[in-house]
Amino acid sequence: MAITAITSVQEFDEKVLGSKGLTIVDFWAGWCEPCIVMRPEVDAVAEKLKGEVQFFTVDAEDKNLRGILLKEDIDGIPSLVFFRDGKMLDSLVGYKKADILEELIREAIK
């Protein structure tokens, strides 16, 4: 699988904030219909760009991960947040189709 689920704040700090290159984090929740509909789109793009971009997910419902949402100022889901070398670069809020996601990510890779 090309996407790794973050399970702790420490893991987020190490794998996302401590990363080199482009990293994308998908903030989602099980009750969020657009999140569920968008999941296959994100999976497809992550698989296509494997090796170029690191992809992670953060479950907004997980009480142990809420500190990440507060720290990164996530106020809507689904949110795809782009990090470069551990620093927030950009974010996309709301449903996006795979072709749009891929285009925006390829722009961020440049």
pLDDT tens for residues 39-55?
Answer: 999 999 999 999 999 99
22 forms beta bridges with 84
* Letter string b/e over residues 52-63, b meaning 16 or more CB atoms within 10 A of that residue's CB: ebbbbbbbbeee
> Is 40 tagged catalytic?
no
> Is residue 93 classed exposed, middle or buried when 0-12, 13-18 and 19+ CB atoms within 10 A define those classes?
middle
pLDDT in tens, 80-93: 999 999 999 999 99
pTM confidence score: 0.92
pLDDT value of position 1: 57
pLDDT in tens, 66-76: 999 989 999 89
Q: Which of 2, 9, 17, 32 is catalytic?
A: 32
Q: Which of 35, 38, 81, 101 is catalytic?
A: 35
Q: What CATH number corresponds to the domain at position 79?
A: 3.40.30.10
pLDDT value of position 109: 86
Query: How many domains does the chain contain in total?
Result: 1
> Is 39 tagged catalytic?
no
pLDDT value of position 110: 80
pLDDT value of position 2: 83
The whole domain housing 28 covers: 3-109
